[in-house]
A and B are shown apart, each in its own frame.
Chain A
Amino acid sequence: GQSLEQPSEVTAVEGAIVQINCTYQTSGFYGLSWYQQHDGGAPTFLSYNALDGLEETGRFSSFLSRSDSYGYLLLQELQMKDSASYFCAVHARGATNKLIFGTGTLLAVQP
């Protein structure tokens, strides 16, 4: 079967660093993406990792270890506006780019 696991909720304070983990089990793997979704909004793309290692985009970084079937999203210098749900998603089929999404992690940033 195919499954992704990520924590359901994380709480952190403004200015802190938070890491959201994602472990996956899929029959095909082409890469791992992260999406952000604010309450009432549509998911928006944050990052994509196809190879092992860390990708940095401003305050956000994403890491992948293919051998461990594991990735994480790292958010630094947290701001209140980072309060949202974060989804990891596996690219399970290269040709059609079909994504399998995790159930999401609700991040609450407190003052």
Chain B
Amino acid sequence: DVKVTQSSRYLVKRTGEKVFLECVQDMDHENMFWYRQDPGLGLRLIYFSYDVKMKEKGDIPEGYSVSREKKERFSLILESASTNQTSMYLCASIGGNEQFFGPGTRLTVL
């Protein structure tokens, strides 16, 4: 069974903290994505990666960075968390034309 897993389902952090969200896929996919989902705004692309060590900004990269050191792992980093980064974060990888999503991490920044 194909799988995308994320390190945490729920996370609470304080303003200014550095936050790491981890995503692992076991399908040997080249392309991986990080989205945030907010009510009424749909899924907005933060960053994506099309190969190890390769990354490209999405639509809302400000305040975020990413790391792809291994093909199966794609990490999202909030350098200094702020309250407006409270959101649901979804990781995905793509095989053919189908994106496979992880269960999501609901991050609250206090």
Question: Which residues of A does B touch, CB under 8 Å?
Answer: 8, 31, 33, 35, 41-45, 48, 50, 87, 89, 91, 95-104
> Count the A-B residue pairs with Cβ separation under 8 angstroms: how many?
55
Which residue of A has the minimal Cβ distance to B35?
A: A101
B39 to chain A, nearest CB (A): 10
**Overall SS of chain B's interface:** strand
Decide yes or no whether B64 CB sits under 8 A from chain A. no
Q: By the criterion of a CB under 8 Å from any partner CB, how many residues of chain B are at the interface?
A: 23
Which residue of A has the minimal Cβ distance to B40?
A: A103
Question: Which residues of B does A touch, CB under 8 Å?
Answer: 31, 33, 35, 40-45, 48, 50, 56, 58, 90, 94, 97-104
Q: How far is the CA of A45 from the CA of B103 in the complex (A)?
A: 14
**Overall SS of chain A's interface:** strand
B90 and A42 contacting across the interface, CB-CB below 8 Å:
yes
Q: 10 A-B pairs, CB-CB below 8 angstroms?
A: A33-B98, A43-B43, A43-B99, A50-B97, A87-B42, A97-B31, A98-B58, A99-B45, A99-B94, A101-B45
